[in-house]
């Protein structure tokens, strides 16, 4: 069964960067310490900020991310606090090294998913992108996680560096007993913004010829597959999640963004000060969300227009969807 996952107006999604430090140096890392800070948040602050978003009166989901969140010694306590507060789901995004013996300090009923990042079906490709040893450590981390009774999902960020190995992923996913597979499109921010985009971005033709069919194949094995819609036809409705949904991207320096494409710039529409969520002054990302462009996402047009194309009379040939708009395929 395939469906477009519409933006939920009934849930709050909190992407909580509890630190920006990481043990790896991935080529496409989106963390920008000049914009996001270098702080390791103390547990008191983590708990206070979790309370801020839990009070929004919606079913709230929290995703603990970094950097590498398992490097934070207080992650187990943060997970337990989120559970106590009543977050609907709790996810930990990780590179698989699973520091501080995290799997022994939280229980399967406290974490809905450990979500692992793997960017190659082979050691050679993954380690070229993410660093030597990262493939073996991620695989070992997944196996250990499942052995201890936790659910595991896997994230594969597609770029020109690894798109050729996507078709090798189905048997690996089955072997690892992965329940959910997330295909991501590479974001041109952080380190990736400093690399020639032609060496990173997969073309529209390649994306459409590879991703949907592969997602169907993987879903046929009983794995739920989610991937970004990315491209819309001109007659499809464009919606911006910054306007119609409740997604918050929180960084250790207190910045709160509503759109991940804005994160390389001081455009955050909110900020946490004294454990209160405040609106920032204009101009910020919220002012951009309201702009109506024929190309769809205005932030895409501003910062990564290379994935757009136009007819001879200057009319866009398609729209770019909001990066939060997903396709989901699952076996009925």
Domain ranges in the chain? 2-291+320-329
**Cα separation of 259 and 255, whole Å?**
12
pTM of the model: 0.95
162 — pLDDT class (breaks 50, 70, 90): very high
**Cα separation of 318 and 235, whole Å?**
9
User: In terms of pLDDT, which residue wins out, 307 or 131?
Assistant: 131
pLDDT at 2 over 60: no
189 — pLDDT class (breaks 50, 70, 90): confident
Please give the pLDDT value at position 330: 83
Contact between 74 and 48 under an 8 Å Cβ cutoff? The reply is no
**Cα separation of 249 and 268, whole Å?**
9
Please give the pLDDT value at position 188: 79
Q: Is the peptide bond before 67 cis (omega within 30 degrees of 0)?
A: yes
Q: What is the mean pLDDT of residues 58-62?
A: 86
Q: Is the dihedral of CA 7, 12, 186, 151 positive or negative?
A: negative
193 — pLDDT class (breaks 50, 70, 90): confident
User: In terms of pLDDT, which residue wins out, 51 or 11?
Assistant: 51
Q: What is the mean pLDDT of residues 167-175?
A: 95
- Measure Cα distances from 263 to 94, 250, 286, 303 in Å: 20, 10, 13, 11
User: In terms of pLDDT, which residue wins out, 147 or 5?
Assistant: 147
Find the helix packing angle between 123-130 and 134-147, rounded to 10°.
110
Q: What is the mean pLDDT of residues 7-20?
A: 86
Q: What is the mean pLDDT of residues 215-244?
A: 93
Q: What is the mean pLDDT of residues 235-247?
A: 92
pLDDT at 297 over 60: yes
Q: What is the pLDDT of residues 106-117, one digit of tens each?
A: 999 999 999 999
**Cα separation of 108 and 87, whole Å?**
15
pLDDT at 311 over 70: yes
- Pair of tokens at residue 114: 């450990």
Q: What is the mean pLDDT of residues 277-306?
A: 93
Which residues does residue 180 pair with via DSSP β-bridges, in sequence order? 153, 224
267: Cα within 13 Å, side-chain hemisphere: 17
* Helix, strand, coil in percent for the chain, rounding step 5: 35, 25, 40
Q: What are phi and psi of 240, to 5 degrees?
A: -100, 125
Q: Is the dihedral of CA 91, 97, 99, 104 positive or negative?
A: positive
Please give the pLDDT value at position 201: 87
pLDDT at 4 over 70: no
Please give the pLDDT value at position 57: 65
Q: What is the mean pLDDT of residues 212-237?
A: 94
Q: Mean pLDDT score of the chain, rounded to an integer? A: 93
- Pair of tokens at residue 242: 């910054």
User: What does CATH list as the number for 2-291+320-329?
Assistant: 3.20.20.70
Q: What percent of the chain has pLDDT over 90?
A: 85
Residue (of 159, 179, 156) closest to 169 by Cα position? 156
Please give the pLDDT value at position 3: 53
């Amino acid at each position: 069964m395939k469906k477009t996952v519409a933006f939920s107006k009934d849930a709050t999604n909190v992407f909580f960067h509890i630190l920006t430090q990481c043990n790896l140096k991935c080529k496409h890392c989106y963390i920008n310490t000049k914009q996001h800070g270098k702080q390791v948040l103390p547990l008191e602050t983590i708990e206070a900020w979790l309370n801020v978003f839990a009070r929004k009166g919606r079913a709230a989901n929290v995703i603990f991310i970094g950097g590498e969140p398992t490097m934070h010694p207080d992650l187990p306590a943060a997970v337990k606090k989120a559970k106590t507060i009543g977050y609907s789901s709790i996810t930990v995004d990780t590179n698989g090294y699973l520091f501080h013996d995290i799997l022994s300090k939280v229980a399967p009923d406290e974490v809905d998913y450990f979500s692992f990042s793997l960017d190659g079906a082979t050691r050679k490709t993954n380690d070229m992108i993410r660093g030597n040893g990262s493939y073996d450590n991620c695989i070992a981390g997944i196996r250990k996680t499942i052995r201890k009774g936790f659910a595991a999902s896997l994230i594969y960020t597609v770029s020109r560096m690894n798109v050729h190995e996507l078709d090798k992923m189905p048997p690996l996913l089955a072997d690892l007993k992965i329940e959910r597979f997330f295909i991501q499109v590479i974001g041109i921010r952080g380190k990736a913004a400093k690399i020639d985009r032609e060496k990173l971005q997969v073309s529209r033709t390649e994306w459409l010829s590879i991703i949907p069919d592969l997602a169907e194949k993987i879903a046929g094995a009983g794995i739920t597959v989610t991937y970004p819609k990315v491209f819309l036809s001109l007659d499809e409705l464009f919606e911006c999640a910054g306007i119609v949904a409740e997604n918050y991207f929180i960084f250790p320096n207190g910045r709160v963004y509503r759109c991940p494409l804005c994160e390389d710039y001081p455009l955050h529409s909110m900020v946490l000060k004294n454990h209160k969520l405040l609106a920032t002054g204009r101009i910020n990302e919220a002012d951009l969300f309201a702009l109506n462009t024929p190309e769809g996402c205005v932030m895409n047009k501003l910062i990564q227009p290379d994935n757009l194309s136009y007819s001879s009379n200057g009319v866009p040939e398609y729209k770019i969807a909001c990066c939060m708009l997903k396709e989901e395929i699952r076996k009925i």
